[in-house]
Structure 1
């Protein structure tokens, strides 16, 4: 097994990695279908093709779903919880054994800095470890029906689950869906984003190596139209977990309605970071920078709106701009502060937001333009950007840009900050920086979002339920609540006298 240095050297020499799979993973093995169609995968840091993968279609989806349904009904749903736990524990260990390959593949596929990819892979291992511990703790309840009856509930797996995985956090999102589904006794059919297929395929193989029965985790690669759509409308899918845009989420909901299929949707965000005048300023500065510039801002829960009290606005933003200008851009394998965005199309979208803002007279304090890797002159990069004094109805404050662009909104006081924080169609997460703990928790109760961070953005981990309100979706992933989506409760009442 090659280490990171050897993998990077291989990529620099050959422009690819030999260990990357090309076929779908169905029934315990990689297989290329008879049509043998392939797609190109790009390295965003160079803007160049570095690998190919199979372009699936409806027939491949049907084969994968039938395989999962058969395996679920004949084996997995009756496997004891303790054995499921052992398989998930072994998967966690195998992820760590393959840490270098998974991290380098994630960086090449998504563009993110290698140190962030390592964090994602380690987080995936922790996710399987966490849900391994939950397998044998899915306990039901008993009902006090009196001496003549006994009543209780049991949790049963919902069946075959579909997972539509986004391109910004491929292995993280796959793990947070696969692990609870498998812990509950469900089967998985996944469709990774066509921009980032490889770590989901590698993860499926590791699950099989850990002892998961063939067919219980299948992965089909291809486009949303040719793979995602037939997967979400398949009659044998019992649940859909979707992470992506609001527009596509609506389509998934409408499709699921035809078969009355359960859905969990994690959609967009335009999350506020509320910074009050009594905050620890250095702590807040570090938090705001990480909230928007990690993964080049391509995070549903990115802190893309700074809502700051007027009395500290000028000093705070001046220091924020200074720190932003010091960020180093580069190819993900060089471990820069900021990597590329994922595709040329997405770069153009981000650029469009800023071009329109400049026409409106926006106060762009730093950044605001597309650029390239300063070392190579290649890749799809956007300068880390701060736009000051954005009105609450401007599209920069209302629409998800999904890039390294921070909009600044000035609040008169804490009450005004609350108003601005809630004045948005999204409600995924919010951050609060203040030294007044009572005020922090008062704001946390009143801000309409699924998760609140106080004095540390992205606080918590797999233990903390995650999901949105309003147009950010519904349902929760992560934590013990994440198991509920993959279980159906059965109530049993019996007369015994």
Structure 2
């Protein structure tokens, strides 16, 4: 562990908090208290108690932030060259790396996830800014072949002020993947982090300012979704919204955007299958599936929350998974366990209700199935790594997103049946395919309805790979060059260049 990270972890366990944590809105380059003085608490999921508090705002704060972002679009930021924006984003990437230990410790503490996972998230955020720094001056338009008497071309322009609604499960990485391309395109941003996990968004705003991003270009407003989030997406000054969260909230965001004819990218979750054929490397598949469902305690939109396994491999693969799940050490995120807590007590109750309901329906429980505590402290919001076996296709474990460390196993008769089971939900975010037959893998990749397909691996691709879902998993794509298009409007210019007819 990095020495600075060790010191921060020691400070937290000695004092119950960390010094210097941000606690106010960041608007127009300055820290602001809430207009009405409201406050909220940040909770440590590993101990189940509050460790910090922060300002909670609503419409007055979001209006001020949108106004600041609008002014910034007309100021120095709007005049900056793409290459200069790219240089700024590269400085941001460097500063994230310089501040990585503190960012990771705070992310782990706020979310609950194991520190090593938070370190990976912070490294990914730096890489995200680095990637879009290189793309800022490469957003070329196109020439239009009208013929010798006319000239025509397109110009990519920034769409304007953008809103970024960030979820609680991956605060810094989700924020980075949306504001980095927005800034590369020349837009300004108003960020509303989840009320459960606001801290690294505020820390990142401060890093952006240190890198030289002008005041008002990135603003962070704190508060609940009902107060700050709803006010932000309804503001007529917002021209684009990037939202990650639940289907129901995404629908509400889309309706609000429609009132102002603003564009949206919605990443709304999933019930993603890992499909394992009988000829697959079962040890490799088992290792990947354990990570796919139990990383961040299963609180991942693209988690491999379903296993669709061909019948001849079913018993052996489930046995391997149960054995591996039994070796996962549970503990406080800052102590680097394999499995950390879930983010809130309310969410723990939701996960437990799914497990209890499945048991009451007679679904076979292969392992886990209960809420638990950190054995070291006797506290925290934890749920055992859980596997339900041979689950019917119409069961809630298959059809609904639990968003926790719960794997539902479905048994397929053959590859075609596996594809049908994989497609048998309202979601279509990602899917994994495991087989030694590459032709079969490509046929299945063609036929499975999902925005991203992994073959003989899970969670691969990184910032280069466009990410987003089909069906109720969302609209649009983030990451990759594709994401830049979310933040551009295309202007077409045509002109007659021939002389007058005589």
TM normalised by structure 1 equals 0.99
> How big is the alpha-carbon RMSD for the aligned residues of Structure 1 and Structure 2?
0.9
| Partner of residue 37, structure 1 | 38
- Deviations for 1:212-260, whole angstroms, at most 9, x for unmatched residues? 0000000001101110000000010000000000010011111111111
Q: What is the CA-CA distance between 1:78 and the residue it aligns to? A: 2.1
| Partner of residue 272, structure 1 | 273
1:368 paired to 2:369:
yes
- Distance in 2, matches of 1:487 and 1:180, equals 10
- Distance in 2, matches of 1:491 and 1:261, equals 20
- Distance in 2, matches of 1:73 and 1:476, equals 28
Q: Determine helix, strand or coil for the equivalent of 1:236.
A: coil
Q: What is the CA-CA distance between 1:2 and the residue it aligns to? A: 8.0
Q: What is the CA-CA distance between 1:268 and the residue it aligns to? A: 1.5
| Partner of residue 355, structure 1 | 356
| Partner of residue 190, structure 2 | 189
Q: What is the CA-CA distance between 1:75 and the residue it aligns to? A: 2.3
Q: Determine helix, strand or coil for the equivalent of 2:189.
A: strand
Q: What is the CA-CA distance between 1:33 and the residue it aligns to? A: 3.2
| Partner of residue 464, structure 1 | 465
Q: What is the CA-CA distance between 1:21 and the residue it aligns to? A: 0.4
Q: What is the CA-CA distance between 1:136 and the residue it aligns to? A: 0.4
- Deviations for 1:144-195, whole angstroms, at most 9, x for unmatched residues? 1111111000100000000000000000000001100000000010000000
* Contact persistence 1:77–1:157 (CA under 8 A): no
Cα distance change on mapping 1:20 and 1:2 into 2, 3 Å: farther
| Partner of residue 207, structure 2 | 206
| Partner of residue 453, structure 1 | 454
Q: Determine helix, strand or coil for the equivalent of 2:464.
A: coil
| Partner of residue 76, structure 2 | 75
Q: What is the CA-CA distance between 1:34 and the residue it aligns to? A: 3.9
- Deviations for 1:246-298, whole angstroms, at most 9, x for unmatched residues? 01001111111111111110002000000001111111111111110000000
Q: What is the CA-CA distance between 1:109 and the residue it aligns to? A: 0.3
- Deviations for 1:19-61, whole angstroms, at most 9, x for unmatched residues? 2101111111222134222100000000010101110111011
- Distance in 2, matches of 1:30 and 1:123, equals 27
Taking the TM superposition and a 5 Å limit, the aligned residue runs for 1:338-487 are 338-487=339-488
Runs of 4+ aligned residues of structure 1 deviating over 4 Å after TM superposition are none
| Partner of residue 149, structure 2 | 148
Q: Determine helix, strand or coil for the equivalent of 1:209.
A: helix
* Contact persistence 1:139–1:155 (CA under 8 A): yes
- Distance in 1, matches of 2:81 and 2:74, equals 14
| Partner of residue 128, structure 2 | 127
Q: Determine helix, strand or coil for the equivalent of 1:173.
A: helix
Q: Determine helix, strand or coil for the equivalent of 2:241.
A: strand
Q: What is the CA-CA distance between 1:96 and the residue it aligns to? A: 0.4
1:174 paired to 2:175:
yes
Q: Determine helix, strand or coil for the equivalent of 2:387.
A: strand
- Distance in 1, matches of 2:379 and 2:438, equals 47
Q: Determine helix, strand or coil for the equivalent of 1:143.
A: coil
- Distance in 2, matches of 1:147 and 1:322, equals 71
- Distance in 2, matches of 1:161 and 1:35, equals 25
* Contact persistence 2:34–2:56 (CA under 8 A): no
Q: Determine helix, strand or coil for the equivalent of 1:462.
A: helix
Q: Determine helix, strand or coil for the equivalent of 2:463.
A: coil
| Partner of residue 232, structure 2 | 231
* Contact persistence 1:2–1:101 (CA under 8 A): no
| Partner of residue 315, structure 1 | 316
Q: Determine helix, strand or coil for the equivalent of 2:20.
A: coil
| Partner of residue 16, structure 1 | 17
* Contact persistence 2:159–2:487 (CA under 8 A): yes
| Partner of residue 51, structure 1 | 52
Aligned length: 497
- Distance in 2, matches of 1:189 and 1:219, equals 6
Q: What is the CA-CA distance between 1:102 and the residue it aligns to? A: 0.3
Unaligned runs of 5+ in 2: none
Taking the TM superposition and a 5 Å limit, the aligned residue runs for 1:298-309 are 298-309=299-310
Taking the TM superposition and a 5 Å limit, the aligned residue runs for 1:244-255 are 244-255=245-256
Q: What is the CA-CA distance between 1:395 and the residue it aligns to? A: 0.5
| Partner of residue 138, structure 1 | 139
Cα distance change on mapping 1:483 and 1:311 into 2, 3 Å: same
* Contact persistence 2:283–2:320 (CA under 8 A): no
- Distance in 2, matches of 1:454 and 1:31, equals 48
| Partner of residue 114, structure 2 | 113
Taking the TM superposition and a 5 Å limit, the aligned residue runs for 1:482-497 are 482-497=483-498
Q: What is the CA-CA distance between 1:77 and the residue it aligns to? A: 2.4
Q: Determine helix, strand or coil for the equivalent of 1:142.
A: coil
* Higher mean C-alpha displacement, 176-185 vs 276-285: 276-285
